[in-house]
Chains A and B, each alone.
Chain A
């Protein structure tokens, strides 16, 4: 079955440190890729998405992600994190096949940024 892996379950950084969260998926066909963020006590919010074109995608709040097709990866990056980035981050993939329209999520990465 297709799956999405986020290898880092917990990440702790100090403010101003650089961030990279890994996301890999197991599907050989065409995909749409997403990163969602869930701040404490809030709902899932879309950070950025990739459908086609430039594999480097820029999202809100200074986040970006790069789609590397050969590595089946869509890693999330931010050059300098802030305390307010403390949240849980989920990578999600929509596989463009006949299996359906749902998103397949990774297990999430909980980021804590120390002030």
Chain B
């Protein structure tokens, strides 16, 4: 399909384990966002890339969270030493312009 693709769709991690979540944006999209959506809440901003440059990481909750987009297309969100409060759906969105965002289906992370 031509949409934003995220993998895996579901991830169960033991507390303390490192995880990596992948986002394949729509081809040619310059902007890429990561959001975290806790159960029963709206998405909350984590970080923003313009091409390969990470222009805003103000939403990353701790230094255990790290994101990269080395070639300006695929992005990976890494969470080190996962904790139970990291359990959430992680959403990726991409767009040609800053003002648009096409969302993927998300990765549901459960930390046990």
Contact = CB atoms under 8 A, between A and B. Distances in A.
A101 B32 CA distance: 11
A6 to B, nearest CB: 8
Interface of A: 4, 6, 32, 36, 42-46, 49, 51, 90, 92, 94, 100-108
Contact of A101 (B4, B42, B48): B48
Nearest to A100: B56
A102 B56 contact: yes
Main secondary structure of the interface of B (DSSP, over half): loop
B106 A102 contact: no
B45 interface: yes
B11 to A, nearest CB: 17
Contact of B105 (A42, A46, A103, A104): A42
Range, interface on chain B: 20 to 34
A45 B104 CA distance: 9
A4 B43 CA distance: 11
B34 to A, nearest CB: 10
Contact of B104 (A43, A49, A90): A43
B56 A106 contact: no
A108 B42 contact: yes
Contact of A105 (B44, B58, B100): B44
Contact of B42 (A45, A100, A107): A107
Nearest to A88: B42
B59 A102 contact: yes
B103 A103 contact: no
Contacts of B59: 102
Contacts of A44: 43, 91, 93, 103
Nearest to B37: A105
B33 A102 contact: yes
23 contacts: A6-B42, A42-B105, A43-B3, A43-B103, A43-B105, A44-B43, A44-B91, A46-B100, A46-B101, A51-B99, A90-B43, A94-B99, A100-B58, A101-B56, A101-B98, A103-B43, A103-B45, A103-B101, A105-B42, A105-B43, A107-B40, A107-B41, A107-B42
